[in-house]
């Protein structure tokens, strides 16, 4: 069973509360999402392997450590996951980015795929799937399945807010995937929006409502 890591760092919780506020506009919402994504990825990458290297400082030669192991790939789920990419790239500038387009049909609540473009070597990378919201879990589970269909196996899911149902679904369908979240909310409402949540992440990011 994949682990669920909840980041309750005070800075993350403070910024997330500001994002939840319905009066927070798109500009601030975007900036806060970037700041939280950066703080989260710092922790998500804590267990990446490193290897000893030799560098020559202005003072002397020294044995220090640098990242080793698999290269990183980022996979934002469109649209809202896009809001996390730049921030993560700031910390992991050599990451390659794949895009998965999925929207949730408002009637059936089923994820509808419309786009998938992955780095050619995605299956050799440690992939971080990015999406602020994990509601029913349909989009995340389908996105992860798409990655597995392309031969990818090292996958971590990073969300800001999750509902218990979404976590359960991803854990059931993808027990090999760890989930990293900033908050586990209470439930879903009748339209499968997270309660209390923050509303529609894509619309708030891009000002489409
Ligand atoms: C939102 C969100 C997730 C999905 C979560 O995207 O960004 O991808 O819903 O819901 P689920 O867990 O029930 O699948 P949405 O479908 O609204 O698309 P958008 O980002 O293009 O607005
Ligand atoms: N998608 C969102 O953007 N918000 C929710 O609460 C649920 C799905």
Is the pLDDT assigned to residue 11 strictly greater than 90?
yes
> Which pLDDT value is given to residue 69?
84
For 135-157, the pLDDT digits (tens) are 999 999 999 999 999 999 999 99
Could you tell me if the CB of 159 is within 6 A of ligand 1? no
> Which pLDDT value is given to residue 112?
93
Q: Taking residues 37-51, what's their average pLDDT? A: 96
For 158-170, the pLDDT digits (tens) are 999 999 999 999 9
Interhelix angle for 26-44 vs 82-91, to 10°?
50
Residue 177 · residue 2 · CB < 8 Å: yes
Could you tell me if the CB of 200 is within 6 A of ligand 2? yes
State the distance from the centre of ligand 1 to the C-alpha of 170, rounded, in angstroms: 14
State residue 101 phi and psi, 5-degree precision: -95, 120
What length is written for the chain? 209
Could you tell me if the CB of 162 is within 6 A of ligand 2? no
> Which pLDDT value is given to residue 7?
97
Nearest ligand for residue 188 CA: 2
> Which pLDDT value is given to residue 117?
98
Residue 33 · residue 19 · CB < 8 Å: yes
> Which pLDDT value is given to residue 38?
98
Residue 174, token pair as written in the block: 């993808």
Q: How confident is the model at residue 209 (pLDDT cuts 50, 70, 90)?
A: confident
Rounded to whole angstroms, the Cα distance separating 53 from 151 reads 31
State the distance from the centre of ligand 2 to the C-alpha of 133, rounded, in angstroms: 6
State residue 195 phi and psi, 5-degree precision: -115, 125
State the distance from the centre of ligand 2 to the C-alpha of 79, rounded, in angstroms: 11
Is the pLDDT assigned to residue 175 strictly greater than 90?
yes
Rounded to whole angstroms, the Cα distance separating 106 from 18 reads 27
Which of 104, 113, 181, 188 has the most ligand 1 atoms within 8 A of CB, as the residue to mutate? 104
Nearest ligand for residue 166 CA: 1
> Which pLDDT value is given to residue 1?
87
b/e per residue 5-22 (b: at least 16 CB within 10 A): bebeeeebeebbebbbee
Is the pLDDT assigned to residue 18 strictly greater than 90?
yes
Could you tell me if the CB of 131 is within 6 A of ligand 1? yes
Mean pLDDT, the chain, as a whole number? 96
For 61-120, the pLDDT digits (tens) are 999 999 998 899 999 999 999 999 999 999 999 999 999 999 888 889 899 999 999 999
Q: Is the peptide bond before 174 cis (omega within 30 degrees of 0)?
A: no
């Amino acid at each position: 069973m994949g682990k669920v890591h909840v980041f309750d760092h005070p800075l993350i919780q403070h910024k997330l509360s500001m994002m939840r506020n319905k009066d927070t506009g798109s500009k601030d919402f975007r900036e806060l999402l970037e700041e939280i994504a950066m703080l989260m990825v710092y922790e998500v990458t804590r267990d990446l392997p490193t290897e000893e290297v030799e560098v020559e400082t202005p003072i002397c030669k020294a044995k220090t450590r640098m990242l080793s192991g698999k290269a990183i790939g980022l996979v934002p789920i469109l649209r809202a996951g896009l809001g996390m990419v730049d921030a993560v790239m700031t910390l992991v500038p050599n990451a390659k980015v794949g895009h998965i387009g999925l929207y949730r049909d408002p009637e059936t609540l089923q994820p509808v795929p419309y786009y998938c473009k992955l780095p050619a070597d995605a299956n050799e990378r440690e992939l971080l799937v990015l999406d602020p919201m994990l509601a029913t879990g349909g989009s995340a589970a389908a996105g992860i399945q798409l990655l597995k269909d392309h031969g990818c196996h090292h996958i971590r899911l990073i969300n800001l807010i999750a509902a218990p149902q979404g976590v359960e679904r991803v854990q059931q369908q993808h027990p090999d995937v760890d989930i990293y979240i900033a908050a586990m909310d209470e439930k879903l409402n009748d339209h499968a929006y997270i309660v209390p949540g923050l509303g529609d992440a894509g619309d708030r990011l891009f000002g489409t409502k």
